[in-house]
Amino acid sequence: MSTVPIIELKDVSKNFRSIQALDHVDFDLREGEVHALVGENGAGKSTMMRILAGIYTDYEGAYYLDGKQMRFNSPHEALAHGIGMIHQELSVIPELSLAENLFLGRQPTTRFGTIDWRRMYRDAEEELRRLGFELDARLPLEQYPLGTQQVVEVLRTIVSGARVLIMDEPTSALSPSEVGQLLALVDTLRQQQRSIIYISHFLEEVLHVADRITVLRNGRSVATLTRDEATLDRLIALMLGREVDRQAQPITTESEHEETILEVKDLTSDKFRDINFRVGKGEILGIYGAIGAGHFDVARALFGLYKLDRGTIILDGEPFPSNHSARYAIRRGLAYAIESRRKSLLLDQPIYQNITMPHLERIGRFVPQQSQELAAAAPTIAQVNVIPPDPHNPVGKLSGGNQQKVAIARWLTFPPRVFIMSEPTRGMDVGAKTEVLGLLRRFGEQGFGVIVVSSEPETILAVANRVIVMARGEIVGRMENKNLDKDALMRLI
Amino acid sequence: MNSVIKPRFSSFVDRFRGLQASSPWMRRFSMLAQVWTLIALFVFFSLASDSFSRPINLRNILTQVSTLAIFASGMTFVLLLGQIDLSIAAVAALSAMISAHLYSKLGYAEPIPSLAGIGAATFLGFVSGVASARFRIPTFMSTLAMSLIAGGLTTYISKGRVITKVSQLSMTLGSKRIGGPDGLPVIVIVAIVTLAVGYVILRYTRFGRYTYMTGANRSAARLAGVNTDRILVVVMTISGFCAGLAGIISMGRLHSAQPDATDSFLIDTIGAVVLGGTSLMGGRGGMPQTVIGLLIYGTLRNGLDNIPSIDIYLKEFITGTVLLVALLINTVFAGTAERDRTI
């Protein structure tokens, strides 16, 4: 590894209106180095990476490439200078063959101007072999597992001429064996003298793969450690900005809630395995995981909207039939508000109709009348304090927080036994967040079981009595939420 | 940097929308765009032709759109769900042919032939629905296939021939008039009843609400516990039933079962329903809109017949042009082309 920096950021700052996303940050990347960026959500990782990749063009400070000051106007221009970015969401085209994906937009042609298929397949397989993969380049990419698609995406960026690769959470959606494959690829690329900026939530992975690690906190670069200096505890301490108690929470403490409402045994599907937990009367259970951990799919499966391979759901001592419908779940007393309000609400329709949606069969029997619906909706609108409270207002006219309140209110007309909420506070301002979290706490006090599923540790820690942590489809930790800290959650994923 | 962005050019349409946003009166006016189109056409033809506005001709318009109205009742459900049924014309022909065949060739007495025809049509609608709901075949394809299936069966049963002996029941439905030769045609009553039943179902039942919900936002409907697959099957079955009924009625009106008698109804039906203001994307519209659409359609067709100076070879062309203009006016008035360009 050489010590010559390929890329250097000096004193770079970036503002989004009132938010200082990056605050006088210095950063450098050497040739043949894997340099990891870590930090909490909102620490400035994404912003920095977008500046490096030419996506954000409007920032203060200097950007040097090979010692020359640059300012890219587009990601395209950055790529032309050898800086390529691999996004979290793959941009491959699954229907096309592996080779076509690899050479998208720069397919080799014959002298007649048609595509030279034979050469394309040969070149593709050769490129793959150089990285240690024996694959058939003729098959459509969708026939390969996600890990391989990720590899192809990396390779495509290299074929496009990138010397510097920026990888954003490359392993978040991969299975453990595929993670191994990807980390091996990163090693190979390092040996080929390519430079990599590696961004990940998974600190173990970072410690394994990185030569140097830069920790960002609140838009500032707080430290750059070499691989030998870095330990898990040190990284977490730097990320959170304080020394953490080495003795974390005792793992595997089950709650002693006297009365179990919901019990889940061995839930297994393609996105998660062997999920067991119970929810007591008046208890708020938090399920935490990074994006792609499968916790949102567990919530869907409980409500009958994701196919289970096996497992039992027992509510009030009575088991659900296998692969029950959402209607059945509602009748038995489950309520579910998903992470996307756009998917769960009819934005053009008035508030009251959105609230009575799941309960039409219980309101006015055969013919739901507007007056009956209004009567059913009005108390719950008041209960969650929707502003403005006019039930005839279309939901699309409300603010995000108030839309979320409508999504909650619809389950209160007939109080549920267990309320499942995915990302209850996503995209809300502080005031709305506090209000929604207050509502959740009140449900606990009223004796519902509540399950809060989230990738934001703050949300979970604010309301949950007990926390389950999921990573890659499995439960990796259970703890009481007593003096629980973010680091305890983050240590586990 | 934060200076106000002013468009250099604002089109007539944009200016109109600005006006619309600022004035509630304007909004009310434009919500009724379809009604204004109907009135405009009506006034135009009344002035352009002496015979158009006579009561007897107005009754003719109603009679002419009655068969279409029965088709359109079913199609309204389908479009509200954001689906399409391309098989209605062929299914109607099959319904008529089965019924005529049972009656004239096999000697069954009414009501068996009519019920069998409508029953077969309903069943085919059900099959398209199941194919689409259970196996995720788009209705565009499943009903296209169903159209061929029904057309093929019609050809097989009829051997391509017209059956001219049809039952009294179907003739009563299709061409009898209540109260003498100038009375109200039964076919109009059947059409009104069909539309009214459709209206009640859509407006006042849970199933109707589920249809709107599913059409507007399928995932939201599912999250509310709606069995969206079942809604699709039922809606396609309703469409099949309406097509079957329309087939029998059309047979009674023509006094014969003809393999190709209903061919033109597919396009006319979709045209009339959309013209009324029901969205092809689902979730918006309803039976009242369909009634307006039918009347616009009927007025246009009949009105052109009543202006003798128009070259009959140009009629189709003029109909198409007026339809396109009417649709344009609808979208401009209704503001359906939105600002968000990702939609």
Any idea where the domains of chain A sit in the sequence? 1-82+163-244, 91-155, 260-492
**Looking at the DSSP assignment, which residues form a beta bridge with residue A84?**
A165
Comparing A153-167, B27-41, B169-183, the range with the smallest average pLDDT is B27-41
Pick the more confident residue, B333 or A40.
A40
| pLDDT average, residue stretch A226-245 | 78
What does the alpha-carbon distance between residue A140 and residue A152 come to, in Å, rounded to a whole number?
12
Task: Give the ranges where A385-419 is alpha helix by DSSP (H).
Answer: 400-409
Comparing A231-245, B162-176, B233-247, the range with the smallest average pLDDT is A231-245
Nearest to A292 by CA among A14, A88, A17, A80: A88
3-state SS assignment for residue A26? strand
Contacts of A353 in chain B (CB under 8 A): 209
Q: Give the pair of three-digit tokens for residue A379.
A: 């108390």
Per-residue pLDDT, B339: 45
Model confidence at B2: pLDDT above 50: no
Per-residue pLDDT, A252: 41
Per-residue pLDDT, B340: 45
* Residue B12 CB-density burial (10 A; 0-12 exposed, 13-18 middle, 19+ buried): exposed
Q: Give the pair of three-digit tokens for residue A472.
A: 């890659």
What does the alpha-carbon distance between residue A275 and residue A295 come to, in Å, rounded to a whole number?
10
Per-residue pLDDT, B128: 94
Closest partner residue to A345 among B204, B210, B220, by Cβ?
Answer: B220
Per-residue pLDDT, A18: 67
Asked if A330 lies within 8 A of B227 by C-beta distance, the reply is no
pLDDT band per the 50, 70, 90 thresholds, residue B1: very low
| pLDDT average, residue stretch B171-187 | 82
Q: What are phi and psi of A203, to 5 degrees?
A: -70, -35
- H/E stretch holding A486 reads helix A486-492
Per-residue pLDDT, B9: 53
3-state SS assignment for residue B329? helix
Per-residue pLDDT, B189: 92
Per-residue pLDDT, B94: 94
The one-letter amino acid at A388: P
Nearest to A98 by CA among A157, A134, A141, A129: A141
The answer for residues whose C-beta is within 8 angstroms of residue B96's C-beta and 6 or more apart is: B117, B247, B248, B250, B251, B257, B258, B261, B262
Comparing A134-138, A252-256, B160-164, the range with the smallest average pLDDT is A252-256
Pick the more confident residue, A324 or B24.
A324
Is the C-alpha dihedral spanning A95, A97, A98, A101 positive or negative? negative
Nearest to B237 by CA among B78, B69, B343: B78
- The CATH H-level superfamily of A260-492 is P-loop containing nucleotide triphosphate hydrolases (3.40.50.300)
Q: Say if A200 is an interface residue toward chain B (CB within 8 Å).
A: no
- The CATH H-level superfamily of A1-82+163-244 is P-loop containing nucleotide triphosphate hydrolases (3.40.50.300)
Q: Say if A121 is an interface residue toward chain B (CB within 8 Å).
A: no
Contacts of B217 in chain A (CB under 8 A): 343, 345-347
What does the alpha-carbon distance between residue A487 and residue A469 come to, in Å, rounded to a whole number?
12
What does the alpha-carbon distance between residue A418 and residue B245 come to, in Å, rounded to a whole number?
48
Q: Give the pair of three-digit tokens for residue B52.
A: 């158009």
| pLDDT average, residue stretch A274-297 | 87
- Best of B199, B202, B223 to disrupt the A interface by mutation (most A CBs within 10 Å)? B223
What does the alpha-carbon distance between residue A225 and residue B336 come to, in Å, rounded to a whole number?
56
Q: Say if A345 is an interface residue toward chain B (CB within 8 Å).
A: yes
Model confidence at A257: pLDDT above 60: no
pLDDT band per the 50, 70, 90 thresholds, residue B305: confident
Asked if B206 lies within 8 A of A325 by C-beta distance, the reply is no
Nearest to B192 by CA among B125, B123, B287, B105: B287
Q: What is the DSSP string of B217-284?
A: -HHHHHHTT--HHHHHHHHHHHHHHHHHHHHHHHHHHHTSB-TTTTTTHHHHHHHHHHHHT--TTSSS
Q: Give the pair of three-digit tokens for residue B21.
A: 């946003």
Domains A1-82+163-244 and A260-492 are alike in CATH topology: yes
Closest partner residue to B206 among A325, A361, A410, by Cβ?
Answer: A361
CA within 13 Å, CB half, B151: 15
pLDDT band per the 50, 70, 90 thresholds, residue A253: very low
Asked if A327 lies within 8 A of B283 by C-beta distance, the reply is no
What does the alpha-carbon distance between residue B187 and residue B246 come to, in Å, rounded to a whole number?
10
| pLDDT average, residue stretch A6-10 | 88
Chain A CA closest to residue B202: A367
Per-residue pLDDT, A451: 92
Model confidence at A434: pLDDT above 70: yes
pLDDT band per the 50, 70, 90 thresholds, residue A398: confident
Per-residue pLDDT, A143: 83
Q: Give the pair of three-digit tokens for residue B309.
A: 């100076």
Model confidence at A105: pLDDT above 50: yes
Contact residues, A window 346-365, toward B, CB-based 8 Å cutoff: 346-349, 353, 357-358, 360-361
Residue with tokens 């509510």: A315
Q: Say if A229 is an interface residue toward chain B (CB within 8 Å).
A: no
Residue with tokens 């050019």: B9
Q: How far is A454 from chain B (nearest CA, A)?
A: 19
Q: Other CB atoms closer than 10 Å to residue A427's CB: what's the count? A: 13
The one-letter amino acid at A115: I
Contact B74, B202 (CB under 8 A): no
| pLDDT average, residue stretch B316-339 | 71
Contact A158, A192 (CB under 8 A): no
Model confidence at A150: pLDDT above 70: yes
Per-residue pLDDT, B334: 55
Domains and CATH numbers, chain B: 26-334 (1.10.3470)
- % of chain B exceeding 70 in pLDDT: 87
Strand boundaries in chain B, DSSP class E:
177-178, 184-185
Q: What is the pLDDT of residues B23-72, one digit of tens each?
A: 566 555 556 778 888 888 889 888 888 888 888 888 889 988 999 999 99
Chain A CA closest to residue B220: A344
Mean pLDDT of chain A: 83
| pLDDT average, residue stretch A245-255 | 45
Per-residue pLDDT, A366: 64
Contacts of B205 in chain A (CB under 8 A): 366-367
Q: What is the pLDDT of residues B134-175, one digit of tens each?
A: 998 999 999 999 999 999 999 999 888 888 888 888 888 888
pLDDT band per the 50, 70, 90 thresholds, residue B249: very high
Per-residue pLDDT, A250: 45
Q: Give the pair of three-digit tokens for residue B295.
A: 């009347």
Asked if B226 lies within 8 A of A327 by C-beta distance, the reply is yes
Q: Give the pair of three-digit tokens for residue A185.
A: 């690829």
Model confidence at A126: pLDDT above 80: yes
Model confidence at A189: pLDDT above 60: yes
Per-residue pLDDT, A248: 45
Nearest to A262 by CA among A275, A249, A273, A245: A275
Model confidence at B16: pLDDT above 70: no
Lay out the sheet containing A260-268: strands in order across.
A275-280, A260-268, A310-315, A318-319
What does the alpha-carbon distance between residue B292 and residue B312 come to, in Å, rounded to a whole number?
26
Asked if A325 lies within 8 A of B225 by C-beta distance, the reply is yes
Chain B CA closest to residue A324: B225
What does the alpha-carbon distance between residue A216 and residue A219 come to, in Å, rounded to a whole number?
6
pLDDT band per the 50, 70, 90 thresholds, residue A256: low
CA distances (Å), B22 to each of A390, B17, B27, B329, in order?
22, 9, 9, 19
Per-residue pLDDT, A32: 87
Contact residues, A window 291-320, toward B, CB-based 8 Å cutoff: 303, 305
Q: How many CB pairs under 8 A join A and B?
A: 55
Closest partner residue to A358 among B205, B216, B225, by Cβ?
Answer: B225
pLDDT band per the 50, 70, 90 thresholds, residue B115: very high
Model confidence at A198: pLDDT above 60: yes
Contact B68, B240 (CB under 8 A): no
Q: Say if A323 is an interface residue toward chain B (CB within 8 Å).
A: no
Model confidence at A336: pLDDT above 50: yes
CA distances (Å), A446 to each of A285, A414, A416, B109, in order?
15, 13, 11, 67
